[in-house]
Amino acid sequence: MARQQFTPEQHSVRLLKVGEQVRHVISEILARQQVHNDTLTAHSVSVTEVRMTPDLRQATVYVKPLLGQDEEAVLKALRTNTAFFQREVAQRLKLKFAAKLRFRSDETFDEASRIDALLSDPRVKRDLDD
């Protein structure tokens, strides 16, 4: 049987859909506190984005603890429980291959704060008002 060919647009849409499904599964696991880890139980963790590789074998999961507290401890706990998350994602999504998960800190909120601070600078406001 011939392998189905996807256009680049369809391929990227598929990556986004699978990434979003993975994000929902991990978010649900964290929200229901199904991970037996004291650090993860004590913190609310937001899964902000999941980026899949084109072959769907690896997923980079961007997370942010509520209020950014104990970020390193939360990342360590997530990385310690990676096998559990991978197994749960594979069982719930029934993909051909179980994606290898990599947890990373989401820096977009810090970058947005930095940009807001720059835009609040009086010199920049003066230029924007003109």
Is position 1 within any domain?
no
Is position 48 within any domain?
yes
Place of tokens 């008002």: 129
CATH of the domain at 41: 3.30.300.20
The per-residue pLDDT for 40 is 86
The per-residue pLDDT for 76 is 94
Q: How confident is the prediction for the chain on average, in pLDDT?
A: 83
The CA distances from residue 48 to 5, 13, 17, 60, in Å, are: 30, 18, 14, 11
Is position 2 within any domain?
no
Task: Write out the two tokens for 106.
Answer: 């989401």
CB 43 within 8 A of CB 74: yes
Digit-coded pLDDT (tens) for 72-122: 999 999 999 999 999 999 999 887 788 899 999 888 777 777 877 777 777
Residue 52's domain spans which residues? 8-129
The per-residue pLDDT for 83 is 92
**What CA–CA distance (Å, rounded) separates 56 from 86?**
13
- Number of domains forming the structure of the chain: 1
